[in-house]
Structure 1
Amino acid sequence: MVLSETELIDIRRHLHTIPELSLEEFKTHDYLKQVISKFSQVNMEIKELPELPTALLVLIKGSNPKRNIGYRCDMDALPVNETNGLKYASQTKGVMHACGHDIHMTVALGILSYYAEHQPKDNLIFFFQPAEESQSGGRKAYDLGAFSKRFQVDEFYGLHDNAQLKTGVIGCRNGTLFAGTTEVNVDIKGKSGHAAYPQLANDSIVIAANFIEQVQTIISRNIDPTRCGVITFGKIEAGVIRNVIAGKVHLEGTIRGLTQSMIEYLRLRISEIAEGLEKSFNCSIKINFNQGGYYPVENDPVLTKRFIEYMQQNKAVDFEETAPAMTGEDFGYLLNKIPGTMFWLGVESPGALHSADFLPHEEAIEQGVKAMVGFLNYRMNLEEK
Structure 2
Amino acid sequence: MTDLDADALIAIRRDLHQIPELALHETRTHDYLMAKIQSWQSSWMTIKGVPEVPTAIMVRLAGTDPRRTIGYRTDIDALPVTEATGLPFASTIPGQMHACGHDVHMAVALGILQHFAANQPRDNMLFFFQPAEEEDYGGYRVYQAGAFTGEWQPDEFFAIHDNPALPAGQLATRQGTLFAGTTEIYLTLRGLSGHAAYPQRAKDSLVAAAAFIMQVQTIVSRNVDPLRGGVVTIGSLHAGTVPNIIPGEAKLSGTIRAFRQADIEMMQQRVRDIANGVAATYGVEADLKLIQGGYMPVENAPEQTADMMDFMAADPDTDFAEAEPAMTGEDFGFLTQKFPGTMAWLGVNDPEHTLHSDKLSPDEASIKPGVAAFIRFFNHRMQ
Q: Please indicate, yes or no, whether the TM-score normalized by the shorter chain is above 0.5.
A: yes
Q: Distance in 1 between matches of 2:87 and 2:133?
A: 25
> What is the CA distance between 1:333 and its match in structure 2?
0.8
Residue 130 of structure 2 aligns with which residue? 129
Q: Distance in 1 between matches of 2:140 and 2:260?
A: 18
Helix, strand or coil at the partner of 1:171: strand
* Bigger shift: residues 64-73 or 20-29: 20-29
Judged with a 3 Å threshold, the aligned counterparts in structure 2 of structure 1 residues 195 and 167 are, in CA distance, closer, same or farther, namely: same
Q: Deviations over 1:135-178 (max 9, x none)?
A: 11111111111111121111000000110000110010111111
Amino acid at match of 1:348: N
Q: Distance in 2 between matches of 1:94 and 1:276?
A: 39
Judged with a 3 Å threshold, the aligned counterparts in structure 2 of structure 1 residues 83 and 240 are, in CA distance, closer, same or farther, namely: closer
Residue 276 of structure 2 aligns with which residue? 275
8 Å Cα contact 2:296-2:330 kept in structure 1:
yes
8 Å Cα contact 2:42-2:118 kept in structure 1:
no
Residue 84 of structure 1 aligns with which residue? 85
1:375 equivalent to 2:377? Answer yes
Amino acid at match of 1:150: E
Q: Distance in 2 between matches of 1:211 and 1:83?
A: 36
Amino acid at match of 2:187: V
* Bigger shift: residues 121-130 or 275-284: 275-284
Q: Deviations over 1:162-203 (max 9, x none)?
A: 100001100101111111111111121222222222222222
> What is the CA distance between 1:274 and its match in structure 2?
2.2
Matches within 5 A, 1:85-164: 85-164=86-165
Q: Deviations over 1:78-114 (max 9, x none)?
A: 1112222222221112211111111111111111111
Residue 357 of structure 2 aligns with which residue? 355
Q: Distance in 1 between matches of 2:117 and 2:301?
A: 28
Q: Distance in 2 between matches of 1:165 and 1:172?
A: 12
Residue 364 of structure 1 aligns with which residue? 366
* Bigger shift: residues 184-193 or 257-266: 184-193
> What is the CA distance between 1:269 and its match in structure 2?
0.9
Q: Distance in 2 between matches of 1:255 and 1:124?
A: 35
1:241 equivalent to 2:253? Answer no
Judged with a 3 Å threshold, the aligned counterparts in structure 2 of structure 1 residues 93 and 190 are, in CA distance, closer, same or farther, namely: closer
Helix, strand or coil at the partner of 2:326: coil
Judged with a 3 Å threshold, the aligned counterparts in structure 2 of structure 1 residues 278 and 16 are, in CA distance, closer, same or farther, namely: closer
Q: Distance in 1 between matches of 2:166 and 2:305?
A: 19
Judged with a 3 Å threshold, the aligned counterparts in structure 2 of structure 1 residues 279 and 19 are, in CA distance, closer, same or farther, namely: closer
> What is the CA distance between 1:40 and its match in structure 2?
4.5
Residue 340 of structure 1 aligns with which residue? 341
Helix, strand or coil at the partner of 1:265: helix
> What is the CA distance between 1:280 and its match in structure 2?
2.7
1:317 equivalent to 2:310? Answer no
1:63 equivalent to 2:64? Answer yes
> What is the CA distance between 1:246 and its match in structure 2?
2.0
Question: Which ranges of structure 1 fall in alignment gaps of 5 or more residues?
Answer: none
Helix, strand or coil at the partner of 1:128: strand
Q: Deviations over 1:13-43 (max 9, x none)?
A: 1111111111111111111121122224121
Amino acid at match of 2:353: G
Helix, strand or coil at the partner of 2:333: helix
Helix, strand or coil at the partner of 2:371: helix
> What is the CA distance between 1:245 and its match in structure 2?
1.9
Q: Distance in 1 between matches of 2:244 and 2:41?
A: 72
Q: Distance in 1 between matches of 2:15 and 2:364?
A: 13
Q: Distance in 1 between matches of 2:223 and 2:117?
A: 53
8 Å Cα contact 2:83-2:96 kept in structure 1:
yes
Helix, strand or coil at the partner of 2:120: coil
* Bigger shift: residues 22-31 or 270-279: 270-279
Q: For the aligned residues, what is the CA RMSD?
A: 1.3
Amino acid at match of 1:353: L
Question: Which ranges of structure 2 fall in alignment gaps of 5 or more residues?
Answer: none
TM-score (norm 2): 0.96
* Bigger shift: residues 58-67 or 202-211: 202-211
Amino acid at match of 1:60: L
Q: Distance in 1 between matches of 2:83 and 2:247?
A: 39
Helix, strand or coil at the partner of 1:210: helix
Residue 299 of structure 1 aligns with which residue? 300
Helix, strand or coil at the partner of 1:54: coil
Q: Distance in 1 between matches of 2:283 and 2:32?
A: 57
> What is the CA distance between 1:279 and its match in structure 2?
3.0
Q: Distance in 1 between matches of 2:164 and 2:129?
A: 22
1:256 equivalent to 2:257? Answer yes
> What is the CA distance between 1:251 and its match in structure 2?
1.0
Q: Deviations over 1:20-76 (max 9, x none)?
A: 111111111111121122224121111111221111111111001011110000111
Q: Distance in 1 between matches of 2:29 and 2:241?
A: 44
Helix, strand or coil at the partner of 1:218: helix
Q: Distance in 2 between matches of 1:188 and 1:261?
A: 27
Number of corresponding residues: 381
Q: Deviations over 1:301-347 (max 9, x none)?
A: 22111111111111111111111111111111111111110001001
Residue 330 of structure 1 aligns with which residue? 331
Q: Distance in 2 between matches of 1:74 and 1:36?
A: 16
Q: Distance in 2 between matches of 1:279 and 1:125?
A: 52
What's the % identity of the aligned pairs? 52
